[in-house]
Structure 1
Amino acid sequence: MWREARIAFSDSVAALNCSVIPAHPWIYGLGQQTENGAYLSPVNAINYLAEKLAGTGGASDIVIMMVSGQTHDNFMANLSQLVDVFPSTAFTQVRRLAESAAQLAAEKMQIPAKYSKSLPAAIPLSVPTSRTALAAAAVKKAQQEAADTVGMSGLKKLMGEFKQQRENLISGISSGLTDLQGKSARAWVFTASGDLPSTLLELVKGIPLQSSVFTAAMMLVGDNLDGIKGMIHDLEPDTGA
């Protein structure tokens, strides 16, 4: 069934393999493209995902995450929170496209800047071939330094530096997990497990926020999605959901 939930990492997170099907306004033939922007309702998004699911058959675990909004700003706020917690390609792509569309609309209303004769600010020059050459040079230099004779005192110093770097790396990883666990976002979710005909019947029931005009959703389909289900935390009755 559909419900609003809090999406956050927990200690139960695990790796998994699954199919990923996005639904957003920029998918060809799905969203409505106008001069003022791209639009997609939750109903059309879920019907699109249901059609994809109907062609599979059998039994599977299903997880859908969806964010919607009546206005572009509200939609982007909800989407950005979810991307910060769960930056899947399906959602990061939508945020990038939505931001680009909004920026283009704003630029159309601006007066073109005057022609400037000054040079642009200096930036690092980086192309694939130069990056490859620089990397090769760095490796060669490291090999030469490693071939030099190292005294006992120098060796002890290097071992001490390595130990410190290792401790810093472990500390950074631990801190990163703590930071991730401190982030959360609200989203509408649908979870189901079992035969797909029954799942399809439940999927199209009670689709939330049907009057919204901005929608992005992602459907995961796999044999076992317990790893991702561990990120879904039901809201308490008194949280204003």
Structure 2
Amino acid sequence: MWRKATLSTPANMAAVNCAMLPVHPWVYGVGRSEESGSYLSPQNAVDHLAGKLAGSGGQQSVVVFMVCAADHPAFMQALTQFSAVLPLPVFSQVARMASTAATLATTKMQLPASAGNGLPLPQSLSTATSRMAINAQRIAQAKDAAGAGANLAGLASALSGFANAKAVALASMESALNGLLAGSAQAWVFTASGSAATLASEMKKNVPQQDAVFTLATLFAGEDLTTLEAMINDPDSHAGTGR
């Protein structure tokens, strides 16, 4: 069943491998496009995800996170908080599209919906690579220096540079992690396991916030979604028990 919960990042969050399917007002053919912008109701968003899930067949474990609102400012606030807790590239993209919806033509922002039934292949989290690139350049420079017969003072300087770069990288990672752990967001959640057809049918029942016109809903499907379920904090302790 659908329920409102607080999402947060657990300190012991582990890697997860699963299919991920987001839907939002700017997915072509799903949202409703008007002169004033693009819109998507929670029911239509869930119906779209349920159709894809039913087409995948077999046994599935699913987690759905959904944020929605009746007006654009409230949607932006919910979306910003949600993407801070779960900073996947697709959510940042949706946030950018939503923030520019008032100034860009709707057709320029629409994305094609995935063709056919079923779920997409599993995706991995994409992170910034600038620090890796800088360190790679330093490694290359150190190799060049060694090949040119660098003296001990030069090698000591290079090692000191590596140590400083490591300290800066670790501090940056710790700061980012602390920021994630401190964040939280309100969202509608649905968790269950079973046959894809049954889950798709249950998902479409009692969809919340029917008056909303802005919706981002994301379906996660895989064999083990305990990592995502651990993000769910609700007062009735139903997280991960909709099975």
Band the TM-score falls in, shorter-chain normalisation: 0.7 to 0.9
Distance in 2, matches of 1:146 and 1:186, equals 54
What corresponds to 2:220 in structure 1?
A: 220
Q: Secondary structure at the match of 1:17?
A: coil
What corresponds to 1:165 in structure 2?
A: 165
Distance in 2, matches of 1:193 and 1:42, equals 21
The one-letter code matched in structure 2 to 1:46 is V
What corresponds to 2:11 in structure 1?
A: 11
Give the CA deviation at 1:138.
8.8
The answer to whether 1:195 aligns with 2:224 is no
Give the CA deviation at 1:187.
1.0
8 Å contact from structure 1 (residues 5, 189) kept in 2: yes
Give the CA deviation at 1:223.
1.1
Bigger Rg, which one: 1
Cα deviation code 1:97-144 (max 9, x no counterpart): 222221238xxxxxxxxxxxxxxxxxxxxxxxxxxxxxxx99876654
The one-letter code matched in structure 2 to 1:44 is N
What corresponds to 1:93 in structure 2?
A: 93
8 Å contact from structure 1 (residues 40, 215) kept in 2: yes
Cα deviation code 1:166-219 (max 9, x no counterpart): 233333322321121111111111111122333233212221101111111111
Distance in 2, matches of 1:104 and 1:47, equals 27
Cα deviation code 1:143-170 (max 9, x no counterpart): 5433344444444444344333323333
Cα deviation code 1:50-97 (max 9, x no counterpart): 111111222111011111111111111111111122122432232222
Give the CA deviation at 1:235.
4.3
What corresponds to 1:183 in structure 2?
A: 183
Q: How does 1:94-113 map to 2 (within 5 A)?
A: 94-104=94-104
**Deviates most, 10-19 or 192-201:** 192-201
TM-score, L = length of structure 1: 0.76
Give the CA deviation at 1:34.
0.4
The one-letter code matched in structure 1 to 2:34 is T
8 Å contact from structure 1 (residues 12, 230) kept in 2: no
Q: Secondary structure at the match of 1:66?
A: strand
Q: Secondary structure at the match of 2:179?
A: helix
Q: Which runs of 5+ in 2 are unaligned?
A: 106-136, 238-243
The answer to whether 1:234 aligns with 2:234 is yes
Instruction: Check 1:224–1:236 CA distance in 2 against 1; reply closer, same or farther (3 A cut).
Output: closer
Count of residue pairs the alignment pairs up = 207
Give percent identity, aligned residues only.
39
Q: Which runs of 5+ in 1 are unaligned?
A: 106-136
Q: Secondary structure at the match of 1:78?
A: helix
The one-letter code matched in structure 2 to 1:73 is P
Instruction: Check 1:82–1:151 CA distance in 2 against 1; reply closer, same or farther (3 A cut).
Output: same
What corresponds to 2:33 in structure 1?
A: 33
Higher RCO, Cα 8 Å, sep 6+: 1
What corresponds to 1:84 in structure 2?
A: 84
